[in-house]
Amino acid sequence: MKHRVVITGAGAVSPYGVGKDVLWENICQGKSSVAPVTLIDVSNYPTKIAAEVKGFDPFTYLEKREARKMDRFTQFAVIAANEAIADARLDLAKEDKDRIGVIIGTGIGGLDTIENQMRVFMEKGARRVSPFFVPMLIANMASGYVSILYGLRGPNSTSVTACSSGSHAIGYAFKCLQDGEAEVMITGGAEAPITNLSFAGFCAARALSTRNEKPEKASSPFDRKRDGFVMGEGSGILVLETLEHALSRGAKIYAELVGFGQSGDGYHITAPDPDGTGAALCMQRALDGAGISPDEVDYVNAHGTSTPLNDKIETMAIKKVFGPHAQKLAVSSTKSMTGHLLGAAGGVELVICSLAVKEGIIPPTINYEDPDPECDLDYVPNVARKKNIRFAISNSFGFGGTNACLAISKIEV
């Protein structure tokens, strides 16, 4: 018998600022977070917009001595984890810390640290490189810091699977709980990719939108005029527990995590499989693991990056899995508002999905103005929709052809 797994806490650092409530409020209102870039000088880049975390001061939330040892992505993760643990009302002084683990995904890790320390190395020499250089840049330090700060000795690892990193991390944490390896898992994703080198690379790949004149309109998933994704940053962290553990302490429950599917495209380093087979397999495996049929699903939080290929092929994959029911599904991309948080996307989007199920509100796809005939589903255009959601899935697809899908449900005890 597998243990049932529930979501009892949520935390976020998003382009709207710190906190899950500010994220949810803006998502429900259909507000874009995209604006001109301020973190780096983009005067020589074709793209000049991004979804930066607004007004972020780590010292407001973290002790200065510790914050200075963390890359920006780790700061995001720790702050979001602090909120998630507080939101779950998890009294760690009363818990068995051997049975609480941490798995946080990131696609890039400490790239800002790498760039800064390389500059120090080139300008001032090897002796001036920070002794914290390696611990700051490594991808597992988000998980490591959360574990260290709270003294947690359960499973501790990191998934690094490009833009599906956060969803894979949650899926692996889900399996740890199902199998009885832990009673509580702190999990999600974190990313801080708005750096000179990252921006240069994505611009060189022609992956980013260049609709600089109207930043709030630039991310337009499934719209005919979509021209690339908008880079975002932040972290989404959830507290997962076995149902037995949550009930034993009287925890509030957002939703039940019921399925996890993963697959590979086996096709190309950046382009998705053109017939959508990998994405479809991933969704089908999540449904199979949850033991639910396609026609029971009410909402799909799409990967929906606002790139020409991704949105068309994800639409195709949804049709493969859901058949005629695809036309009855509500499908939306919250990246239309948050931008694409890369390895953090899966974490932030499952926070949003959990709130959607709990509150009975489906987030919109904003900037959906010129329908693409190849993207012909109900994308919840421009305005949030009230609806009772029994089952929802959240998709994440990444470079290298890596795919992850999470299925959640309204809780029934």
| Domain CATH number, residue 69 | 3.40.47.10
312, 403: one domain: yes
How does strand 234-242 pair with strand 391-398?
Answer: unpaired
User: Is residue 28 annotated as part of the catalytic site, yes or no?
Assistant: no
**Alpha helices, H only, 151-253:** 165-178, 196-204, 243-248
- Tell me the residue length of the chain: 413
**Encoded amino acid at 133, one letter:** F
Give me the catalytic one of 28, 163, 353, 405: 163
Strand partners, 17: 14
Please report the pLDDT score of residue 412 as a whole number: 78
pLDDT in 10s for each residue of the chain, 413 residues: 899 999 999 999 999 999 999 999 999 999 999 999 999 999 999 999 999 999 899 999 999 999 999 999 999 999 999 999 999 999 999 999 999 999 999 999 999 999 999 999 999 999 999 999 999 999 999 999 999 999 999 999 999 999 999 999 999 999 999 999 999 999 999 999 999 999 999 999 999 999 999 999 999 999 999 999 999 999 999 999 999 999 999 999 999 999 999 999 999 999 999 999 999 999 999 999 999 999 999 999 999 999 999 999 999 999 999 999 999 999 999 999 999 999 999 999 999 999 999 999 999 999 999 999 999 999 999 999 999 999 999 999 999 999 999 999 999 76
Q: Give the pLDDT score at 283.
A: 98
- pLDDT for 372 equals 97
- Would you say residue 192 lies in a domain? yes
Amino acid 1: pLDDT: 81
154: left (phi over 0), alpha (psi -120 to 50) or beta: beta
Distance CA 50, CA 94 (A): 42
Whole domain around residue 321: which residue ranges? Answer: 260-409
The answer to whether residues 218 and 337 belong to one domain is no
Do 268 and 218 belong together in one domain?
A: no
Q: 181, 164, 224: which is closest to 344 by C-alpha?
A: 164
The angle at the Cα of 60, spanning 54 to 66, to the nearest 5 degrees, equals: 115
277 and 202 share a domain?
no
Q: From the centroid of its chain, how far is CA 378?
A: 22
Residues near 211 by Cβ (< 8 Å), separated by ≥ 6? 49, 217, 218, 227
265 and 234 assigned to the same domain? no
**Tokens at 111, concatenated:** 């790239």
- Among residues 248, 274, 304, the one where a domain terminates is 248
Residue 201 lies in a domain: yes
| Catalytic residue check, 405 | no
Question: 379 and 276, same structural domain?
Answer: yes
Domain final position from 219, 248, 277: 248
Q: How far apart are CA 397 and CA 265, in angstroms?
A: 10
Token pair of 310 as six digits:
């991704």
Tokens for 321, please give them: 């899995």
Statement: the pTM of the whole predicted model exceeds 0.75: yes
Establish if 254 belongs to a structural domain.
Answer: no
Strands 184-191 and 156-157, sheet pairing: unpaired
Dihedral angle sign, alpha carbons of residues 63, 66, 72, 76:
negative
- Asked whether residue 385 falls in the same domain as residue 243, the answer is no
Same domain, 197 and 316: no
Annotated catalytic residue: which of 3, 245, 303, 405?
303
DSSP per residue, 56-83? --GGGTS-HHHHTTS-HHHHHHHHHHHH
299 domain residue, yes or no: yes
Query: Are residues 83 and 217 part of one domain?
Result: yes
Residue 139 lies in a domain: yes
Classified as helix, coil or strand, 16 is coil
Same domain membership, residue 140 and residue 114:
yes
Count of domains observed in the chain: 2
Q: Are 264 and 238 members of one domain?
A: no
Q: What is the pLDDT of residue 390?
A: 97
Best CA proximity match to 237, nearest among 410, 50, 85, 399: 85
Answer yes or no: is 255 within a domain: no
> Which listed residue (176, 203, 340, 405) is catalytic?
340
168 is catalytic: no
Residues 387 and 293 in one domain: yes
Residue in the block written with tokens 């890369």: 342
Q: For residues 404 and 392, give the distance between their C-alpha atoms in angstroms, rounded to a whole number.
A: 14
Which residues have CB under 8 Å from 318's CB, separation 6+? 280, 283, 300, 302, 326, 329, 331, 377
